[in-house]
């Protein structure tokens, strides 16, 4: 696909739109006078994102308060969007959650909750909106994976499982849809300042709050790129029809290391982290 994606007047659906990258994307697309369909379970955050997008020039903004963990097939949402807007031109599957603790500690209901939001919601929404995407020339799908869709650190088994699956799903989907005129992009952000770490679920509980406090300290130290910058890069990738976008120096470095040493990168990264700690960096 060579023609750039034109945003003005095109209907764009974003999940996880109440905060972080999703809210920043709503603002970027609002500036480009897109028609926005914003989805999240946080009604207050949705209202703020919608109001800000309208002020910036969005052609129209509709919000849907939906909990993506409930396992719905999303055909009702697809039908409503088709009725109101005639269909969707851009689907951005951005919503995501994380789960703290090693695999041994992870309760299966928590593991399944994460997979439902991070993976199955991506699949369900793409399936529900696929007829609309195929019917609208030049449409596009964006699935947000993660740095942890490129590398697999200890203590993140559930999250890694979902994000590697999103990566594989998106790559295979691209090979099917691009010949039919639908662009597909997988995004691997790393080090983006969002609430995902601070809002992580803790399997087995966190009675003294230590794990949550640790997650917040990690977020303050490691998640430094503003979500607005990530959103600008994603919008540019959509415009240019790029199949893959890796955001942030940490993600790019980890991607390269995993390609060079696919079975040893974790040990190497642990050694590098130890050296940085000893240097006081």
Q: Which of 74, 81, 87, 116 is nearest to 99 (CA)?
A: 116
Please, where are the H alpha helices in the chain? 20-31, 43-55, 75-85, 108-115, 121-135, 157-177, 210-222, 227-240, 249-260, 265-278
Contact call for residues 57 and 33 (beta carbons, < 8 A): yes
Q: 64 an active-site residue?
A: no
| Burial of residue 11 (number of CB atoms within 10 Å: 0-12, 13-18, 19+) | buried
Geometric angle at alpha carbon 122, from 62 and 248, rounded to 5°: 90
Catalytic residue among 159, 164, 169, 265: 159
The helix/strand count (H/E) of the chain reads as: 10, 11
Burial (CB count <10 Å: 0-12, 13-18, 19+), residue 227: buried
* Element of type H or E holding 88: none
Grouping H, G, I as helix, E, B as strand and the rest as coil, residue 62 is strand
Catalytically annotated residues: 159
């Amino acid at each position: 696909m060579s023609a750039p994606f034109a945003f003005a007047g095109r209907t764009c659906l974003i999940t996880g739109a109440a905060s972080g990258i999703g809210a920043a994307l709503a603002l970027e697309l609002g500036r480009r006078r897109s028609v926005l369909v914003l989805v999240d379970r946080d009604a207050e955050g949705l209202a703020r994102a919608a109001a800000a997008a309208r002020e910036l020039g969005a052609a129209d903004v509709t919000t849907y308060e939906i909990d993506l963990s409930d396992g719905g097939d999303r055909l009702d949402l697809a039908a409503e969007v088709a009725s109101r807007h005639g269909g969707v031109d851009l689907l951005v599957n951005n919503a995501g959650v994380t789960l703290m603790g090693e695999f041994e500690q992870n309760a299966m209901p928590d593991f399944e909750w994460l997979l439902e939001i991070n993976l199955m919601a991506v699949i369900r929404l793409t399936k529900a909106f696929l007829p609309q995407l195929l019917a609208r020339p030049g449409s596009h799908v964006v699935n947000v994976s993660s740095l942890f869709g490129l590398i697999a650190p200890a203590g993140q088994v559930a999250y890694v499982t979902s994000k590697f699956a999103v990566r594989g799903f998106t790559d295979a989907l691209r090979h099917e849809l691009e010949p039919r005129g639908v662009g597909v992009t997988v995004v691997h952000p790393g080090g983006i300042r969002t609430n995902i770490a601070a809002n992580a679920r803790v399997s087995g509980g966190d009675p003294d709050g230590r794990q949550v406090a640790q997650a917040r300290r990690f977020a303050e130290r490691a998640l430094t790129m503003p979500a607005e910058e990530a959103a600008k890069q994603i919008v540019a990738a959509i415009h240019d029809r790029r199949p893959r976008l890796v955001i942030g120096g940490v993600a790019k470095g980890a991607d390269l290391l995993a390609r060079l040493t696919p079975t040893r990168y974790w040990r190497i990264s642990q050694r590098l982290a130890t050296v940085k700690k000893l240097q006081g960096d």
